[in-house]
Amino acid sequence: MSAPAVVILRTGLMTSVGGDAPSSCAAIRSKLTNPVPSEFMDSTGAWITVHRVCVEGIENGLSKLAGMAAAVAEEALRDVARAEWTEIPVLLCVAEAARPGRLDHLDERLLRRIEEMLEATFASQSAVIAQGRVGVAVALAQARKMLETRVAHRVLIVAVDSLLCWLTLLHYDRCDRLLRQDNSNGFLPGEGAGALLVSEAGEQKGLLCTGIGFAREQAHIDSEQPLRADGLARAIGAALSEAGRAMEDFDFRITDLSGEQYYFKEAALALARTLHRPKAEFDLWHPAECIGEAGSLAGAAMIALADAACRKGYAKGTNIIGHLSNDAGERAALTLQFRS
């Protein structure tokens, strides 16, 4: 292993199917889903169906993002004394800068608003990671470096996002990427937040992140180039190399797939290029089928679900491979292992 593992100490999760990690993960395990009609119409004149999170007293905008993020941060920090929060850096994962409909000055305002809601101040090394779906993988790599260099003993990763903005929905509708009665090749937009409190693994029990890999796909979803999954295969290969494992060593996969054929094809191609010995079964989990496409939340939801599944004994095994893909071509992969 070329880099030390990090352990997930505690998770927080707020989705359209649950207000915290236990309820959200239980709903996803049961394949429950809660799509509702929005106040926005698509190009066919039908109401756009979405996965909405209800936050008491807050409708939308920056306050809603901050409210969801504050709730999951508080859940993940439940076992940490408030006096110690000032020593913990927060790596805040948000939508990529090029996302249509993204809130203005999000990077400058959101973290401060979260601190105001929590009436807390986090460590000065806190930062915003505007990398969309791959953001949590980027944050884990940064957290690992901070832990390794003793900048911090614990790091809080918070991911929060929402696609339920008219300009965002309009963009995806015009690109025929929303799931509709006349379009099965699409996703249901969603929103939510997730948090991961991590530290250096050592001999500690729990869900470990043992490898992280990154790459770039030239044939991204808007490129019109033939897809060979070069980028995702390279990202998976890099994560496997860090972990010192082969693809066939893993028990199941967990991904950010949300319904579009392009990404399912990419996952299948990447598997064919990285799995060198056949397996009788190799399950593919994708939480977005229950909580919708929620951008930056994807990575946190994947890890929270894997952690819950391993702790409660319904996982297919203790070795998990995960991967994430951005529309612009960024690819990330994670190797996870549950140590009991």
- 8-54 residue pLDDT tens: 999 999 999 999 999 999 999 999 999 999 999 999 999 999 999 98
Task: Tell me the C-alpha distance between 221 and 326, whole Å.
Answer: 9
Could you say which of 3.10.200.10, 2.60.120.20, 3.40.47.10, 3.60.70.12 is the CATH number of the domain covering 6-200?
Answer: 3.40.47.10
88: pLDDT strictly greater than 60 = yes
Alpha-carbon distance of 219 to 222, in angstroms, equals: 8
pLDDT on residue 204: 85
Percent with pLDDT over 70 in the chain:
99
Map tokens 């249901």 to a residue.
Answer: 188
Long-range CB contacts for residues 107-116, cutoff 8 Å, separation at least 24: 109/62, 110/62, 110/65, 110/66, 110/69, 110/160, 113/62, 113/63, 113/66, 114/66, 114/69, 114/70, 114/73, 114/90, 114/158, 116/66
Q: What is the pLDDT of residues 212-265, one digit of tens each?
A: 999 999 999 999 999 999 999 999 999 999 999 999 999 999 999 999 999 999
CA distance 195 to 71: 9
Residues 6+ apart with CB under 8 A from 332: 134, 137, 138, 212, 213, 214, 235, 299, 323, 324, 325
What's the mean pLDDT when you consider all of the chain? 96
48 and 38 Cβ atoms separated by less than 8 Å:
yes
Inform me whether the pLDDT recorded for 199 exceeds 80.
yes
Which residues on adjacent β-strands are paired with residue 36? 50
pLDDT at 203: 82
pLDDT at position 11, please?
A: 98
pLDDT at 302 over 80: yes
pLDDT greater than 90 at residue 125: yes
Mean pLDDT, residues 314-333 taken together:
97
Q: Is the pLDDT of residue 57 over 90?
A: no
Terminal CA-CA length for the chain? 20
pLDDT of 1 higher than 80: no
Give the pLDDT band of residue 202 (cuts 50, 70, 90): confident
What share of the chain in percent tops pLDDT 90?
95
pLDDT tens digit string along 144-185? 999 999 999 999 999 999 999 999 999 999 999 999 999 999
CATH 3.40.47.10 domain range(s) in the chain = 6-200, 207-339
pLDDT at position 2, please?
A: 66
Assign domain 207-339 to a CATH class: alpha beta
Q: HEC states along the chain? A: CCCCCEEEEEEEEEECCECCHHHHHHHHHCCCCCCEEEEEECCCCCEEEEECCCECCECCHHHHHHHHHHHHHHHHCCCCCHHHHHHCCEEEEECCCCCCCCCCCHHHHHHHHHHHHHCCCCCCCCEEEECHHHHHHHHHHHHHHHHHCCCCCEEEEEEEEECCCHHHHHHHHHCCCECECCECCCECEEEEEEEEEEEECCCCCEEEEEEEEEEECCCCCCCCCCCCCHHHHHHHHHHHHHHCCCHHHCCEEEECCCCCHHHHHHHHHHHHHHCCCCCCCCEEECCHHHHCECCCHHHHHHHHHHHHHHHHCCCCCCEEEEEEECCCCEEEEEEEEEEC
